[in-house]
Structure 1
């Protein structure tokens, strides 16, 4: 199924959270339907493949959290900034659980490009908000299903899955509702042009995710269906 895109004139009249979701629907769908994600959700990614996935995400979150700390007091970023969302320490804990003592670095041009885009988003905090939304709200939504599937596929009994555990923020649903309310408050202070810049950056973020997944699928021998 292909999701129809809204015209800019339709997006600018929406609350920012809705504009970000609807304006990036095509890119989001394409990322979700990538070969790697299809294999991961289908339980067809090996331990090596999942390790590569975590290792590839690490520089992305390192950049996201570094820029976030720098912008935490900015009036555009402050309404959504929350150190309780940080994932870098969780990724490191999972990597140590999955592959204790191993070198956790990975050569990934796609991850480097993604991290660079996040670093560059510091040039205007609205761009950073787009990356914050794409990663963290995704982690609190579809990411939870991924965690459950990985737990079941590898019979982990909850071990090595800190990445999906957001115990510090409380229940996901109320948190996500408040997050979207805060996005809308941010959007109310932006011009129409700047709101569209945010939406465009969300689209870019999903495209960068597509690049990650394509790289992972190309590197790994995915098991057949």
Structure 2
């Protein structure tokens, strides 16, 4: 089948399926969702997100009037204020002095700054990878984090709350329709597809850096209490 007969959003999804699975299967992600981290282990993810979204949303500010990228820049998606509120709750008002991004995050941010402002299609690639993920699996992660780490009333998990998007599925459908309508020649389409894979690789590297927070597996002989040992309910 010719690629021209396949919606571009479907091409993107198919091309990135393996990279998406690789990111989701990282040990850090599994431990985060299962509640196996301490609060500092979750907080470190918020630190990384803040650096990534600061770079991405700065690029978006530069591209608001761009005919290709501008329609994707939507105030309803902006995450930076929520992330900074989360850090103020989790770390304190001086979070900027007490936190720093990992080397993998620094490399991710450098890539965004390097390619996004001068390449609208590559900006769209990073935009798609982050925000469509936030509105899909990210919503599940947010609920799990709030429950498992005792973060009530959105405090510490505001990043996962899209108050201006009450119907995420409808929003994602409209977003994919914008992707399908992009006036891309094959060179620009290829650049966008390739950059999505770059974004996933950076995202996976960030999770790998954060794996230091994952507790070591207990020894096999310590995994279950011995007979006659009383355990708490």
Taking structure 2 as the reference length, the TM-score comes to 0.86
Q: CA deviation at 1:12?
A: 5.3
Cross-structure match for 1:5: none
Superposition RMSD in Å:
1.7
Cross-structure match for 2:171: 175
Matched, 1:57 2:49: yes
Matched, 1:118 2:118: no
Q: Are the counterparts in 2 of residues 39 and 45 from structure 1 also a CA contact under 8 Å?
A: yes
Q: CA deviation at 1:59?
A: 1.0
Cross-structure match for 1:72: 64
Matched, 1:91 2:87: no
CA distance in 2, matches of 1:11, 1:139: 27
Q: CA deviation at 1:13?
A: 4.1
Q: Are the counterparts in 2 of residues 80 and 183 from structure 1 also a CA contact under 8 Å?
A: no
CA distance in 2, matches of 1:64, 1:10: 33
Distance 1:179 1:51, change over 3 A: same
Q: CA deviation at 1:224?
A: 3.8
Distance 1:12 1:175, change over 3 A: same
Number of corresponding residues: 214
Q: CA deviation at 1:196?
A: 1.6
Secondary structure at 1:167's aligned position in 2? coil
Cross-structure match for 1:165: 161
Cross-structure match for 2:222: none
CA distance in 2, matches of 1:56, 1:223: 22
Q: CA deviation at 1:134?
A: 0.4
- Deviation per residue, 1:25-54 (Å, 9 max, x gap): 111100000111111111112101111110
Q: Unmatched 5+ residue regions in structure 2? A: 219-233
Q: Are the counterparts in 2 of residues 12 and 19 from structure 1 also a CA contact under 8 Å?
A: no
Cross-structure match for 1:29: 21
Cross-structure match for 2:144: 149
Q: CA deviation at 1:193?
A: 2.3
Structure exhibiting the larger radius of gyration computed from Cα positions: 2
Taking structure 1 as the reference length, the TM-score comes to 0.89
Matched, 1:109 2:115: no
Cross-structure match for 1:184: 180
CA distance in 2, matches of 1:223, 1:42: 14
